Chains A and B, each alone.
Chain A
Amino acid sequence: MTVGTEPRKRRPIGKMVAYGVLTAGCYGLLFTNADLVMQYFTRGSWYAALPIATVFVFSIVHGAFANYVWSVLGIEAVKRGEVRPRPEKVKRVYRRRRPRPQPRLTV
């Protein structure tokens, strides 16, 4: 099958934009309050949960955004076996002429 006959997969542009805005919001919030954040996040002891929880949240939000970025750019995983071997047999068929009936004279 040629590329043109395959139904085009819809690109998740909306999801990418939504997660992009969310990611930018998270980074913006943290960096605009960097002094306060650093004050609490480096207190140690039970405050250790703050940086750990933060990287978990960022990995989910930014991770989803990154996933949609690659999907929108058309860079996606190939399933094993999805790539077909070189179609040499088909090529041979393409060049072969069909045998034609030869006129024979019976006396």
Chain B
Amino acid sequence: MNEAAQEAIRFIDLNLLTVLFLFVVGFIGGLVSGFIGSGGAFVLTPGMMSLGVPGTVAVASNMCHKFPKALVGAYKRYKYGQVDIKLGLVMAASAAVGVQAGIRIQQVILEKWGEAGSNLYVSLAFVVVLVVVGTYVFRDALKISRTGGQEKVSSLARRLQGINLPPMIHFKTADLRISFWFTLPVGFATGMLAATIAVGGFIGVPGMIYVIGASSLVASATELVIAFVMGFGGSVNWAIHGMIDIRLTLLILAGSLLGVQLGAIGTTIVKEHLIKIVMGTIMLIVALSRGLAIPKYLKELELLQMNDATIALLTKLSFATMCLALAVGAVMILGSMWAARRESRALEVETPEEEVYEALREDYRKA
């Protein structure tokens, strides 16, 4: 028996507030994941820790809810013809290598600079990657929005697809043919980011869109396959160590299975470039959130002087901004689904075929 794990897991008693928090955040996280393929669970680990759950148990329980959620989301989107399973599996294989590399880098940093150094590295990775990639995704989405909403394959992807470097792989659903060697760095970076900031999809989805050349619909749906494979592997690992609090996992899952299906349905209702807009917006707000946490780690490393009250305020602001990122994403998804549905209904009602026939009949009668 894993005594240490049992002690840690018994640490938290469930009350109504905890149950509601986990259900609601699970639902919103599921909604965002079902829509953009990832990025819904990053609030849960710090959220659970703020409820008193030990860090390792929070990470393990969060991961254990991610893979069944990704499974349900991937199945739903597969039925809509959006998932490229082969691309997902190829990416997941290289991502697994990336995860190992990411863990190794973390270990080296932890040994050299301690926990504060490791936290600073994670926050800096968050800020740099999310600002660069998020700005690019957001700008691209705005450009598409201005030019009529039609996505184009990026010039980089077109060039890479034109290079015949065996083994070449044909991805049927993504409708593209590219060398295995070009999928490798994207998968590797996805895994590395997953090991560093726990949200590999922030690199995986843009990588599949701009480097490999998949559409944002296929990329976001295929990311769920990668999330399932990686989440399953990670969960088995945590479960072997007895770190999963199944009660927390199932409470999050209760909300997220509802949310992930709603998000998946949303991708069929709204315009395709909205996936990029939501993803870019969330990435930029999360970058801001992690940026607010940096002074704390700089102070711990004695690289910055700041009073404790300011640090405490910045830490609270950082967590609030992270929650805001998820809430903004959810509002954007639900708002655009609502607008698209209203527009679709208005179109159906406006189509006046019966009225047209009636008017024609009236004309005949008069004639």
Contact = CB atoms under 8 A, between A and B. Distances in A.
Contacts of B363: 97-98
A59 B68 contact: yes
B265 A76 contact: yes
B308 interface: no
A58 B350 CA distance: 43
Interface string B235-269: 11001111111110110011001100110110011
Contacts of B17: none
Interface stretch (B3-11, B163-171, B182-190, B295-303): B3-11
B351 interface: yes
A33 to B, nearest CB: 11
A94 to B, nearest CB: 5
Contacts of A86: 347
A58 to B, nearest CB: 6
A2 B68 contact: no
B253 A77 contact: no
B65 interface: yes
* Chain B CB within 10 A, most for which of A3, A54, A55: A55
Nearest to A95: B359
B239 A94 contact: no
Interface in A44-83: 44-45, 47-52, 54-56, 58-59, 62-63, 66-67, 69-70, 75-80, 83
A89 to B, nearest CB: 11
B249 A51 contact: yes
User: Which secondary structure dominates where chain B touches chain A?
Assistant: helix
User: Which secondary structure dominates where chain A touches chain B?
Assistant: helix
Contacts of A54: 246, 250
A56 B265 CA distance: 22
* Chain A CB within 10 A, most for which of B239, B240, B264: B239
Contacts of B67: 55
* Chain A CB within 10 A, most for which of B247, B253, B257, B354: B257
Contact of B244 (A30, A31, A51, A70): A51
B367 interface: yes
Interface residues of B, number: 57
Interface string B327-355: 00000000000000000110111111111
Contacts of B72: 59, 63, 66
Given A3-B349, A78-B268, A44 B1 contact: yes
Contacts of B269: 77-78
B254 A27 contact: yes
B249 A55 contact: yes
A55 B250 contact: yes
B80 interface: yes
B58 to A, nearest CB: 14
* Chain B CB within 10 A, most for which of A51, A67, A94, A97: A51
Interface string B75-86: 110001000000
A101 to B, nearest CB: 8
A100 B367 CA distance: 7
Contact of B68 (A39, A55, A84): A55
Contacts of B1: 42-44
Pairs of residues from A and B, 10 with the lowest C-beta to C-beta distance, nearest first: A48-B239, A44-B242, A59-B68, A77-B268, A42-B242, A44-B2, A63-B72, A48-B240, A66-B258, A55-B68
Given A50-B239, A51-B64, A66-B72, 11 more contacts: A30-B247, A42-B2, A43-B2, A44-B1, A48-B239, A50-B246, A58-B250, A63-B68, A70-B265, A78-B268, A80-B268
Interface of A: 1-3, 5, 27, 30-31, 34, 37-39, 41-45, 47-52, 54-56, 58-59, 62-63, 66-67, 69-70, 75-80, 83-84, 86-87, 90-91, 93-94, 97-98, 100
Interface of B: 1-2, 5-6, 9-10, 64-65, 67-69, 71-72, 75-76, 80, 232, 235-236, 239-247, 249-250, 253-254, 257-258, 261-262, 264-265, 268-269, 344-345, 347-356, 359-360, 363-364, 367
